Amino acid sequence: MADFTPTQGRYLSYIHAYTAGFGLPPAESEIAEAIGVSPPSVNQMMKMLQKKGLIHREPGVPRSIQILIDESLIPKWSGGKITRVVREWVMTNPDTKKQARPTLANKKHKPPAEIYVIKITLSGSKPPIWRRIETGDVSLAKLHELIQAAMGWTNSHLHQFVIGEACYVDPRGLEHGMMEWAQSYSGITIAKLVAMQGAKLKMQYDYDFGDGWEHKIVLEKIVVPKPDVTYPRCTAGKNACPPEDVGGIWGYYEYLEALSNPKHPEHEEHMQWSGPFDATEFDNLEATHLMQTGMPSW
């Protein structure tokens, strides 16, 4: 009998059914849509399945998931019809004398004029949980997405940026009187903040007001973009992002203590909830992949 939970079996079921039907593995975004979770949640699950020896995949390589267990052990997919959308460029009026339209492969984007090197540190974490990202000028709405992807969060809760005494939030958080202490961050970009606050810009990013995850955001420097580098990207970092809804930074360390001690009264409960967890695990290439793929809508 294969060692996986019902939830993990559902993921394996979808991957197996998709691969059998289309002859190639699904993308993580397709898994997210089928299962009904966010792409970062899928990424975390793929790490877990690989750690348990149930699948193999190449980090940063899309559609590289391979199931390693016998297919007779995999549950039958029961989530409905599986579809695949293929997008490609076509020429509506072929003419060899005219220049071909750009393809997805050769279409080039204008490089950003400046690159902001930003360090993100989860407050209260010891050893520090941190990431270093590089991005062109983006809005605070986009910076929120980059922080979520680089850290490993799942974009499942409210958030805000605190700069000085001002709080900036997603304008949707202001609907129906929610977050009335704050103001909308629409139209606010890193460049505008640098113009107002200076090149040594610092801010606080709060995520999940229940668990209270606070992040220190520091603009380390502004540099020119490097040729042949795709931005945004994560260049460095240490330690894994805590699981969602674990109870904040103190709940996280209690969780780690329970996992590390088989005799702890909550050990089995936590193992069933999340399975094994490596607090030191982090891959900046996977973080970059998520940053460039994009986060789900809130």
87-106 confidence digits (pLDDT tens): 444 444 544 444 444 443 44
**Is 60 a residue whose pLDDT tops 60?**
no
Characterize 199-231 residue by residue with b for buried, 16 or more Cβ atoms within 10 angstroms of its Cβ, and e for exposed: eebebebbbeeebebebebebeeeeeeeeeeeb
What is the architecture of the domain spanning 115-239+284-293? Roll (3.10)
Question: 65 to each of 68, 72, 184, how far by Cα in Å?
Answer: 10, 18, 40
Question: 212 to each of 32, 134, 203, 246, how far by Cα in Å?
Answer: 26, 25, 16, 11
> Which one-letter amino acid corresponds to residue 172?
R
Mean pLDDT of the chain: 83
185-225 confidence digits (pLDDT tens): 999 999 999 999 888 899 999 999 889 999 999 999 999 99
232-263 confidence digits (pLDDT tens): 999 999 999 998 888 899 989 988 988 877 77
Domain ranges of the chain: 6-73, 115-239+284-293
Phi then psi dihedrals of residue 176, to 5 deg: 60, 30
Owner of token pair 């996977």: 286
Owner of token pair 């606080």: 204
157-192 confidence digits (pLDDT tens): 889 999 988 899 888 777 756 677 788 999 999 999
122-143 confidence digits (pLDDT tens): 999 999 999 999 999 999 999 9
**Is 46 a residue whose pLDDT tops 70?**
yes
Q: Which residues face 215 on adjacent strands?
A: 122, 205
Could you tell me which residue, 53 or 294, shows the higher pLDDT? 53
Percent of the chain with pLDDT over 90: 42
Q: Cα 113 from chain centroid?
A: 25
Q: Which residues face 134 on adjacent strands?
A: 117, 233
Burial label, 106 (beta-carbon count in 10 A; 0-12, 13-18, 19+): exposed
> Is CATH 1.10.10.10 correct for 6-73?
yes
pLDDT at 157: 85
